[in-house]
Structure 1
Amino acid sequence: MSAAMELHVALSLRLDAHEAYRLAFAYEAEALRKQAATLRRVEREETPADASGVREGLLRAALILDGHADQLGTVVGKATVTPAATATPELLPETDTTDPLIVDRFDTAMEPAPEDPPVLIVGAVAADGRPVALFFDTEARDKVAAWLAPKPTRDSARERRLEQLLDTIRTHGGRWTTSRVQDMRRRRGQTAQRGTARHDLAELHGRGHLVEHGPVDGRYYTLATREDRRA
């Protein structure tokens, strides 16, 4: 995780001043190293070979930036915020690791910057009041989304199919046979089983939306009018 993202987490979770200053220094050091890397890239890829003075100046400036970054690094030390599946353990007091950390309040969610790893950070508060940062990479986000998404049931899928059919009949009108329903569904790339089409038309008729016409071997349906519903 970049220092910028760590600093964002610290400020969002309102950590102590010492931790915030440490992350601020880390962020500045990281920015200086990025600038030094940019200067070296310009010297290597964009500066003419015969421009020795310019090349030397770019490299010297990069070394100066690296020196400042190293000085900041001595302040930062070795402590870092390590991505974890549940929380930032080094920011929390020592507890019995056999007990799960329970988060009971959502605070904020932070999408990563384009240059950072695709990790969603969720700021939350544990049951005992401690701030917690949850890190979700792409795989973890997909899993959570799958857990939270309502599972489609057979009845709900059937109702959506009936609603689509009724909406189509209302839009286009005319006579609707089993074959016409099948053709419409084939054009839309949907399953077009004859038995399903026949049962759907009969169901809409049973609910009062359609009027049934003709014998069994020549049956068709039309959209019911107000007069039909009153009859």
Structure 2
Amino acid sequence: MWCSDCQQDLPGIASVEDDRLIWCARCNALMTSVLQLAQESDDSSPQRPARSYWRDSPMAMGLDYLPADEMPSLEDLKFSTRRAPLEFPCHGSGQTGTVGKPLGSLRMLSAVGWFCVSLGLLGHFVSAIVMGWSLRSGSANWWLAGTVVFLASQLLLLLGLLFHLDCIWQRQRSADFSLRQLTSQISGLQEVVHRLSSSEQSPKFDEVTGSPDETDPKTLSVVWREQWESLSRSGRERDAA
């Protein structure tokens, strides 16, 4: 196409906003004259809509280059959304109550118990040495000191044993609490399985499973999901009541 600035024929580049505007590839000057634009405007033939990158480009609009048969349908998008986690109803006294002490406190209590027991045993050894020395030397003061150390070591040993008994009791209580909670969860799962297998609670499931050869796997998954959601919803309503 003829460029008036370059005075020669050069390739032109069409504008992305209006394909009637041709720009020179060399000097970037407008190669389409105003007269040509006026003639095209007066032409009775229908005009093509102006191209726009932001309107026609799939990448600019955030679309993927997918064929029409691979585009997800509305039903697929509806069932692919994030679902709320299932909540199983739990019964029994395992839901309420608190564990006596956390694991860190139990470890600290056990360490204090071992420390007291160690000091008590060491005190018994020292008191035996002091009392033996008092018998050899015949001094009543050494015998009195050994007796005091012996009584103090006895108290420390008793205190350490009490700490250990408390740790054992707390661990047993925590194990019983976990066992009751697990039992209640198992009973809740058994109730959910019983409801799923009941024909009165799942009419849709009976209609679908009536002909397993003609059932679509997607339809079965949808029905199962609906049943799980309805059961979890009823369980939450019963717990709230």
TM-score, scaled to structure 2: 0.25
Higher relative contact order (CA 8 A, sep 6+): 2
Higher strand share: 1
Higher helix share: 2
